[in-house]
Amino acid sequence: MPEGSFQYVDVSVPAPLDRPFTYSLPETLRHRVRPGSRIVVPFGPRKLTGVILRCHDEPPNLATREALRLIDSEPVLDAELLSLGRWIAGYYCAPLGDVLRGMLPLASEIHRGKVWSLTDAGRDAARQLLLDAAPDDPVARILAMLEKRPLSAAYLSRILPLADKAIRSLDRKGFIAAEDVQTERDPLRAPATRLRVELIQSEPGPEGTPSGSGHSVPSLPDGKLNKPERELKAFLELHPGSHNLKDLESMLAHSSTAARSLARKGVVTLTAETIGVTAGAVRAPHTLNPAQQAAYDAIRLAIDAREFRAFLLYGVTGSGKTEIYLNAIQAVVAQGRGALLLVPEIALTPAMAGQFFSRFGDRVAILHSAFTDVERTDQWRRIRSGSASVVVGTRSGVFAPVRNLGLIVVDEEHDGSYKQEETPRYNGRDVALVRAQAAHACVVLGSATPSLESRFNAERGKYTLLTLPGRIEARPMPAVELIDMRQEFLETRQQATFSRKLIEAIGQRLENGEQTIILLNRRGFSSFVACRACGERVQCVNCSVTLTFHKRDRRLLCHYCGYAEKVPSVCPKCASDHVYFLGVGSERVEEELHRAFPAARIARLDRDTVTGKRQYETILDGFREGSFDILVGTQMIAKGHDIPNVTLVGVVSADIGLGMPDFRAAERTFQLLTQVAGRAGRGSLPGIVLIQTINPDHYAVRMAAAQDYTAFYEKELAFRRAMSYPPFTAMANVLVRSEKKELALRMSGELGMLLTPPPEKLRVMGPAEAPVPRLKAEYRYQLLIKSASRIALNALLQKVRAFAQERKWPATALVIDVDPLSLL
Ligand code: ADP
Ligand code: ZN
Ligand code: ZN
């Protein structure tokens, strides 16, 4: 580690530029700088927080500016993480500055935590621009608002759908400057507290009874409450349990004030909640069954050898993969090393974390995006200091500064949430492998539906395949039945959401006091609004997609950019009043279930009912505890939950994902159906699964119904081989975008020329319109590049980037997505 005195530092700044910049150091900083520490430097008219890459005394050729302030006395990124960052920048063709920013603690908040104000240039521009710009132009609106006073980025993005983009462009032009409120604050000063609010029950039901008859509340007449208070009370009645106040604020206006006044009136309780390390009761580990033991033994040997080895743990749903993770982590910890467990975004719940606390106590750190900055910084420090050696986190958890890393487990390795859908577009699972390799650590990738890539890597011997073929305690796999909805229509002459069979099965569960999960992988009430007279479908103003009708909010919503408008009473195109709603979403499924089963207690889990992580947990906990009979939801409900009383899983339509213009459509459908089917029959009661479909012969649907992963893998692999898709080729999606159609078209044309004829070993498809040709007000064209050689592909992509820089394309115009998961 370089100690001593230096005159210069090379700094990677969070800007889409590849090279580091050299700054001179003021006397006061010369002894204190270290690679991996954050430093504030001037950059054009702005101040940026960058990361020191190198400290040296080599005078640069150009005049340098002086660094302003050192943030960390101890590096936040050690040599291992810095080199991981370099690998990501190279492999994913992303600017190192953007990569390193994403690896820093609180990375995601840095942008949001800023308070923006106008620069002098911005004031001039505002005067000019406000004269000619359209009044609803987000850039103009932001300028107008900032003219009055500085505003936080979080506030701006809440009130303007496209604020983030507008902010970036204003920032680039030097019209606005940010005060970084994040780094200024000392995280240790504030206690890690938050508030939870819960309705006071005047007549609490007997403890543990699953079917209480509603929730009684104190008889304070509602008329004495003001509107926010009434709304909050009504919400709490509908959603029993304790809620995080911050989450509520995002849904109900003034709920914070209302909660405090309701607490004074004795209607609700407010409790401070400290998330930190709460060691639960220590649970005795299960004795592994023979299949678990064999898998664990194999992993254990590699752990003891202290060498890099990668395992693919393929275990059917309910086969007890978690127990193996726990044991492997324990083995690593016993050696004095650290372990990292990555889980999909939505799966990181307190129930899940609880298992780790109970096994490892205060050695556990949880990295969760729902935590406050203070809490996350706190966890990060505990990891860094070595006091936490077991880390559970989502995608970016792969950058946790775990000391002496011995093991990384990636649970549900096939999950799409491991892929970051913005620059740098890395896949956390793949980064985990690279990080482990450098650290001589082991990797365990676990799934009941491994991705084609991972399974193929196991076939090729890159990973060792470990299999858990059956469920714990030899519980049967659920019986799956396909219901052909075309046949159902012929027989009933009705276009119904539910088949007779599914309705009957739900009815039986209600009678038996068993629970049902109903999946429909589309939110909203109906998927589009159309006009019978002219055929017009109401589209988003920013994107070439139809708007979805959300009944509760009485508005049409764009699921891509968040644009919303009122429901039209007449057709916006021809003014006919024959507008009608088409397609079924989860909100409508819930409503129809209420109608069919008025006495049933139904909860819905999708991105409309879950705006914060806490609500997700509240609904799920309620379901687990038996407060609901039926849980309706989108793919959110398919992920790893273990609810023993669920004996029926119904899939309203298996077909939604199949029509997507994406070569992974079949794989995703297979994974979703298999995973959701796996939610049934996990307790002592056997479960059944009913899948409604109009494609009963499609292999993904058929093989999911048979729960035959191996058959699916082989069939899909043959298709990928025939079409030269991954895992047989490396693939990248190169996309150009601009608000101006001509510009987007021109850029794509220029790229087309650059890549004609394609270099050897490469195949280029396009340029063509992207499947969603216009998104967030930008026109988009794409080229798909396939190559048998990664090196050749990477070289070509670097050439594309250099070309864009040479032509001075705007920084956000070119998107390079290596190993893309979504081609939309
Ligand atoms: P998976 O992740 O493979 O779907 P889980 O790890 O959730 O499965 O395990 C399913 C259930 O079986 C859990 O409730 C778990 O506690 C239990 N379990 C795991 N291993 C054993 C074992 N060896 N003996 C008894 N129960 C076990
Ligand atoms: Zn019309
Ligand atoms: Zn939109």
Give the span between the Cα atoms of 232 and 805, in whole angstroms.
52
Give DSSP secondary structure letters for 613-670: HHHHHHHHHHHHTTS-SEEEESGGGGSS---TTEEEEEES-S-TTTTSSSTTHHHHHH
| Confidence (pLDDT) at 465 | 98
Pocket of ligand 1 contains residue 286 by CB under 6 Å? yes
Contacts (Cβ under 8 Å, ≥6 apart) of 616: 346, 349, 605, 610, 636
Looking from the CA of residue 287, the nearest atom of ligand 1 is 23
Looking from the CA of residue 644, the nearest atom of ligand 1 is 14
CA distances to 20, 93, 798, 817 from 801, in Å: 17, 8, 5, 12
775 CA → ligand 3 middle, Å: 6
534 CA → ligand 2 middle, Å: 4
538 CA → ligand 2 middle, Å: 9
570 CA → ligand 2 middle, Å: 8
Q: Who surrounds ion ligand 3 at CB < 5 A?
A: 540, 542-543, 558, 560-561, 563
Contacts (Cβ under 8 Å, ≥6 apart) of 369: 108, 345, 394, 613
Contacts (Cβ under 8 Å, ≥6 apart) of 377: 105, 106, 187
Pocket of ligand 1 contains residue 317 by CB under 6 Å? yes
568 CA → ligand 2 middle, Å: 11
| Confidence (pLDDT) at 694 | 93
Low-confidence residues of the chain: pLDDT under 70: 1-3, 106-113, 135, 179-195, 201-223, 240, 250, 271-283, 369-370, 372, 612-613, 640
Give the span between the Cα atoms of 808 and 819, in whole angstroms.
26
Q: Where are the beta strands (DSSP E) in 252-363?
A: 268-274, 309-315, 338-342
536 CA → ligand 3 middle, Å: 17
Q: Is the peptide bond before 767 cis (omega within 30 degrees of 0)?
A: yes
Work out the number of other CB atoms within 10 angstroms of the CB of residue 665.
16
| Confidence (pLDDT) at 562 | 83
Tally: H helices and E strands in the chain? 26, 34
pLDDT tens sequence across 743-796? 999 999 999 999 988 888 899 998 999 999 999 999 999 999 999 999 999 999
Pocket of ligand 1 contains residue 794 by CB under 6 Å? no
Ligand 1 pocket check: which of 472, 674, 682 to mutate, most ligand atoms within 8 Å of Cβ?
Answer: 472
824 CA → ligand 3 middle, Å: 14
Q: Tell the residue nearest (CA) to atom 18 of ligand 1.
A: 320
Which strand ranges, in their side-by-side order, compose the sheet holding 364-367? 364-367, 390-393, 338-342, 405-411, 442-447, 309-315, 464-468
Give the number of the ligand closest to the Cα of residue 327: 1
Q: Considering only CA atoms, which of 665, 596, 666, 674 is closest in space to residue 629?
A: 596
Pocket of ligand 1 contains residue 497 by CB under 6 Å? no
Q: Considering only CA atoms, which of 276, 521, 300 is closest in space to residue 377?
A: 276
Give the span between the Cα atoms of 142 and 120, in whole angstroms.
15
| Confidence (pLDDT) at 273 | 53
Ligand 1 pocket check: which of 312, 322, 685 to mutate, most ligand atoms within 8 Å of Cβ?
Answer: 322
Pocket of ligand 1 contains residue 323 by CB under 6 Å? yes
Structure pTM?
0.81
Give the span between the Cα atoms of 600 and 591, in whole angstroms.
12
Give the span between the Cα atoms of 812 and 777, in whole angstroms.
13
